[in-house]
Homo-oligomer: A and B are copies of this chain.
Amino acid sequence: MSDTGFVLHGAVTWCEDPKSIRSFPDAYVVCVNGICRGVYEELPAEYANLPQEDFWDKLIIPGMTDLHTHAPQYQFRGLHMDLELMDWLEQYAFPEEAAYKRRLYAERAYDLFVEELYCGATTRAVIFATKHVGATLRLMDLLEETGLVTYVGKVNMDRNVPDYYCETTEESLAATKKWLKKAEGRYERTSPILTPRFTPACSRELLAGLAELRKEYRLPVQSHVSESPQEIELVRELEKGISCYADSYDRCGLLGAEPKTVLAHGVWSDETEIALLAERGVFLAHCPQSNWNVRSGIAPVRKFLDAGVPVGLGSDVAGGSTTSIFTAMKDAVQASKMYWRYVCPDEAPLTLPEVFYMATKGGGAFFGNVGSFEPGYEFDAVVLDDSAYPTMRELTPAERLERLLYLSDDRAIVGKYVRGSRLY
């Protein structure tokens, strides 16, 4: 089969490391067989015959990864901002998630979530569903249709969850196997991820059972860690003898880099926990807005970065109110400034390159070579029209990017490519 490819022309900006932003006001990004061949100010002769899409002065950036979100909480995004995590789960999240038992509700509700994800700058996402096998498969079907590349998890819970939404250990593991069987061979872009909700809701037996599935099916894992003080206190009561919250996963064999694991939050992670995640190669999903909204606090992101933990950004809908990773970048900068001001004056606030890196290559690494325009990366790109935010200034591509963090909404997104295929 001969090569197929194309060239995008426009203003291009991307991040190869957290220290600097690469950008050209007028350049070509080349895609061949779904893989990026790099960015060029002058198009090399070998690509001269590829079809070109001319975006003129529009901004072309790598697709973004949402490393942590809850699809079934989307219906109450922007609502119920009055409680702390544990009460918020009990009063708002669990009752809503339980509704996904009804197929028609799940179908219609997930349609709305998937449509928003499709319209935004996110090209990859790691997603919590509910405990329901049918609804989770329906979510996967809908996501597969969009062309986005995602991991989706049926949620496991066997304790400290209201009866109407809990499972027994056996039910939870059996349903997970059923789900994995049904998902097998069904998707090109949508993969299952093991999803123990969090230690307060998962017995050691359940975690150990999931660890067996992890080994057997070579599956990645997603969960939560050290989000709120009340939650951590409960984990310490439930699981005596752990060195840190994350140890409750580690001792069951759920943390590792191959297959990968991602834990959300780490707001209250101490040195021990950060070192454990670094050692195991576990990804941290930083979800700054959710951490504000349910009053958890501000994660020590720079400590994770310094320790070598791979960090990406998560929208964490509906603790976070929006699926926008632009907003997550802005929130991460703002939160880090308050962390510097009130918690740790030695820890410099996050910079624009750092949050851009996390939003693209940092989180993208959970999917492999994703989130950069370096040669060899899977070709995910988003094309942005920022003309709705007028200014008298001449802006560099990096300045245009910074404005989009603070000003953009889905109107700005006029083109989207995933693995070299154009979605719109």
Report copies per complex: 2
Nearest-CB distance from A53 to chain B (Å)?
A: 27
Of the listed stretches A76-84, A140-148, A149-157, name the one at the interface; the rest are far from the partner chain.
A76-84
**Which B residues are in CB contact (< 8 Å) with A352?**
81-82
Is A389 in contact with B78, judged by CB distance below 8 angstroms?
yes
| Bound: A353/B45 CA distance, A | 63
Q: Residue A112 contacts which of B295, B322, B338, B392 (CB distance < 8 angstroms)?
A: B392
| Bound: A289/B343 CA distance, A | 19
Is B81 in contact with A295, judged by CB distance below 8 angstroms?
no
A403 at the interface (CB under 8 A from B): yes
A298 at the interface (CB under 8 A from B): yes
Is A406 in contact with B351, judged by CB distance below 8 angstroms?
no
Chain A contact residues: helix, strand, loop or mixed: helix
Is B293 in contact with A334, judged by CB distance below 8 angstroms?
yes
**Sorted from nearest, which 4 A-B pairs have the closest CB atoms?**
A78-B406, A321-B406, A78-B403, A292-B334
Q: Residue A78 contacts which of B82, B289, B402, B409 (CB distance < 8 angstroms)?
A: B402
Binding site for B on A (CB under 8 A): 75-79, 81-82, 105, 108-109, 112, 289, 292-293, 295-298, 321-322, 333-335, 337-338, 340-343, 349, 351-352, 389-393, 395, 399, 402-407, 409, 411
Is A399 in contact with B79, judged by CB distance below 8 angstroms?
yes
- Residues A77 and B406 in contact in the complex (CB < 8 Å), given A390-B112, A392-B112: yes
Is A340 in contact with B295, judged by CB distance below 8 angstroms?
yes
Nearest to A327 among chain B residues (CB) is B406
